[in-house]
Amino acid sequence: MLRWEWCVVAALGCASCSGSSADACVADGMAAPATFGVKLRVLDEAGDSLDATVDTGSVRLATSGGVAALSDLRGPVIVLVSARGKLTEPVPVGFADANTTLPVVLLDTHGGARIAVHSAGDVMFARRYEAPTSGKPLIPTRDLAAGAAGVVSDVARAFAAADFRTINLESVIGNETQGQEYPKKSIVYASPPETLAGVAALGVDLAVLANNHACDYRDPGIAGTLRALDAAGIANVGARPDDLDGPPFITKVHRVQVGVLAYSAVSGSSTNDGYAKDGEPTPSNLPPNDAWEYEARRWGLMTPTWSVPEAQRRAGSAWTLFAKAEPLPRCWWA
């Protein structure tokens, strides 16, 4: 039986920081050293020392007795640790690791019967990247491709280290203009085609399009997205006319056959469906900011085609009435 493993890479951040705009993000109360060093001890699955290659992107060295010493590091870095017959392991190293020895276990590929898969979600290159509320845009209009590649540069090496890589491309790809967006949708994304350079920099093998932003610019937006991805040579699934009934995306990765299915709900709302309905008990530990959800307000509606008598209703019950009355939203592939 073939064996394979999923390895998920998330964007690296500094969760322990307060949100300061300092150049070097370290835990609150820590002083960032000018430079620091760290040792990596590489092991196989049995726990034995393993000689490997350690690559910081600027320095590449071999271990000695399974140990590699990195010095003069000036900030957080992703280190790629690799060895023949083993899955490459991305290792984030930061200020908190200074003067420590980090164990790194490399898994055997079993001759290609075990693979690493990196999957990222909610990828887009629009809005705040092009028009931030403060500071300069990370993706300037004068150089969209370089800007998009720069946005992912800190994680690209780690993400590309897998055998198979997917992203949830949560954005229309195209130069859409105001007025073409899905009616009354509060948040819509449209990333310029040039920003697919960021997807290429990640080494993406498959873009998954079945998500809540695929229809942001309706049928023309989906058609334009598919054209842009095809032109860039990026395989995709989840938004073509035959995706509902057609075969999954299938590819061979070393000795493993991989299939990907992509679906997204085309009706309802995960947020609205979760609102409190009439008759539901109010939680005893309800946060004050959520109290409005359990308040009933007098509401009714009279139109030539649909009427709702006035009554005290919670938001969830009002939404249920709307959801039952409205037709399913139409997407290009539905």
Does 2 have pLDDT greater than 60?
Answer: no
- The pLDDT score that the predictor gives to residue 21 is 40
Confidence of residue 8 (pLDDT cuts 50, 70, 90): very low
C-alpha of 114 from chain center: 24
At 107, the pLDDT band (50, 70, 90 cuts) reads very high
Q: Quick one: pLDDT at residue 267?
A: 54
* The predicted structure's pLDDT at residue 176: 77
- Cα gap 267→264, rounded to integer Å: 9
Residue 54 has pLDDT above 50, yes or no: yes
Does residue 9 carry a pLDDT above 50?
no
Report the C-alpha gap between 115 and 254 in whole angstroms: 8
What confidence category does residue 18 fall into, taking pLDDT thresholds of 50, 70 and 90?
very low
pLDDT score at 187: 87
Q: Percent of the chain scored above 70 by pLDDT?
A: 84
pLDDT in tens, 224-255: 999 999 999 999 999 877 666 667 899 999 99
Instruction: Write the secondary structure of 260-281 as one string of H (helix), E (strand) and C (coil).
Output: ECCCCCCCCCCCHHHCCCCCCC
Contacts of residue 117, defined as CB under 8 A and 6 or more positions apart, other chains included, come to 4, 5, 6, 7, 8, 162, 163, 164, 165, 166, 258
**pTM exceeding 0.85:** no
Rounded to whole angstroms, what are the CA distances from 10 to 58, 116, 119, 232? 22, 14, 8, 24
Q: Which is more confidently placed, 329 or 220? A: 220
DSSP secondary structure string, 165-185?
A: EEEEE-SEES---TT-SPTT-
**Residue 46 clears pLDDT 50, i.e. is over it:** yes
Average pLDDT over residues 86-104: 96
Q: Which domains does the chain have, with CATH numbers?
A: 36-110 (2.60.40.1120), 117-260 (no CATH), 272-325 (no CATH)
Backbone angles phi, psi at 330, to 5 degrees: -95, 130
